[in-house]
Chains A and B, each alone.
Chain A
Amino acid sequence: GNSVTQMEGPVTLSEEAFLTINCTYTATGYPSLFWYVQYPGEGLQLLLKATKADDKGSNKGFEATYRKETTSFHLEKGSVQVSDSAVYFCALDSSYKLIFGSGTRLLVRP
């Protein structure tokens, strides 16, 4: 069945460091892919999405490219801020059901 695998956290970085959070997926066809972010005490909110191969989603300095050759959708940011500290979830769209990875906690230190 369809599934999403994310790198385990926590990821701890200093402010202005480069961020990569790995995400790979298993799916039939070419589902839409998403990154959601969860700030402490809140629900998830959409960070970015890509709907087809080679699409690049971007928002708030974050980027992810839909790579069908490597079945990956890695999240990157060139310079993280303390305010980026949160849990990040990769997800894929599977016929009305969004399948989530286990989440990666990011902690950015000043």
Chain B
Amino acid sequence: NAGVTQTPKFQVLKTGQSMTLQCAQDMNHEYMSWYRQDPGMGLRLIHYSVGAGITDQGEVPNGYNVSRSTTEDFPLRLLLAAPSQTSVYFCASRHPGTGELFFGEGSRLTVL
């Protein structure tokens, strides 16, 4: 019972590098989202998707791109990494009936 799977769990980047955080879910949920977690600030929504081919911005979208070509996958791309993007990133999918979010285990990103 995999649920939501995120990779990688840890990543160190240099300023200006790019990378993609992968997220996959096996629950056939239409809604998926990316959050970042910073000390004292809780979780802030970066981008979300209500289904394949549909994405929208959350509270803090700048510096991040997303796409949703399949129901299962929702990758998050950092095109030009900056130290301000050092954070823990969580992917989540949402049960359509209960509204419950199911979270991955998180990806800790450090930008030097």
Contacts and interface: CB of A to CB of B under 8 A. Distances in A.
B is a partner of A: yes
Contacts of B44: 100
A44 B37 CA distance: 11
Interface residues of B, number: 24
Given A43-B106, A102-B41, A96 B50 contact: yes
B43 A100 contact: yes
Interface in B89-107: 90, 92, 94, 98-101, 103-106
Contacts, number: 51
Contact of B101 (A6, A42, A44): A44
Contact of A100 (B4, B42, B104): B42
Contacts of A34: 99-100
B42 A103 contact: yes
